[in-house]
Amino acid sequence: MITLRKAKEEDVSIIQRIGTLTFRPTYGHILDQVQIDYMLDQFYSIAALTKQLMEGHTFLIAQEGDQDLAFAAYSTTTHQQHIVTKLHKLYVLPEAHGKGLGKLLMNEVRNKAIEAGADTLTLNVNRYNNAKDFYEKMGFVVKETVDIEIGNGFFMNDYVMALPLTTLKPA
C-alpha cells in the first residue's frame, strides 16, 4: 500500500537520495555532466534542501511499506492578491515508475493548494523533459517559455505551466 507523509528535517537525506537517483536519468540526455553536478549541489545538497524546508517548502514523501519511492515539494504564496501554489519538485525513483506515485503526489499537492485557497497551481519543467506530457495529462497548460540563469553560466530552459484551481474541488 502506498502512503504519503509530510517530511521533517530528519527526512532530508531521504529526499536527497531520491532526488539524486532520479535527477541523473531524467536529465542525462538533456544536460551535460558538469551542469548536472552543479544543479545537484545547488538544489539537492543537504544544506540546500534544509534551507528549502526552512523557507516554507512542504515536502511529501510517498512510500510503499518501508520503502521511500518518490517525493514532491511545493509552497504557497500570495502574489498581487492571488494565492498561488508552486510545485517545485516531483521525483519518482526510476524503479517505481508505473505505480501511480506521480499522479498520487500531484493530486495531493493540488488538494493542498485548493485547501489553502490557491486559485492556481504552477510549475516549471525543462522544455526537453518528458514530464511535460504528464503535466499536460494532469491538466496543466504552458503559460510561457523562460530561460532562468542559475549561476556558473548555466540556465534552466523551462516552460512555466499552470493549472487553474478556482473551479476544481479536492480529489
pLDDT band at 169 (very low <50, low <70, confident <90, very high): low
Which three-class secondary structure string do you get for the chain? CEEEEECCHHHHHHHHHHHHHHHHHHHCCCCCHHHHHHHHHHHHCHHHHHHHHHCCCEEEEEEECCEEEEEEEEEEEEECCEEEEEEEEEEECHHHCCCCHHHHHHHHHHHHHHHCCCCEEEEEEECCCCHHHHHHHCCCEEEEEEEEEEECCEEEEEEEEEEECCCCCCC
The second-level CATH assignment, the architecture, of 2-164 is 3-Layer(aba) Sandwich (3.40)
| pTM for the structure as a whole | 0.94
- Cα(97)–Cα(163) distance, rounded to whole angstroms? 23
pLDDT band at 79 (very low <50, low <70, confident <90, very high): confident
pLDDT band at 167 (very low <50, low <70, confident <90, very high): low
pLDDT digits (tens, 9 = 90+) for 81-95: 889 999 999 999 999
pLDDT, position 80: 83
Give the rounded percent of residues in the chain with a pLDDT score beyond 70. Answer: 97
pLDDT digits (tens, 9 = 90+) for 5-43: 999 999 999 999 999 999 999 999 999 999 999 999 999
Q: Where are the domains of the chain?
A: 2-164
pLDDT digits (tens, 9 = 90+) for 41-78: 999 999 999 999 999 999 999 999 999 999 999 999 99
pLDDT, position 158: 98
pLDDT, position 81: 85
pLDDT, position 168: 57
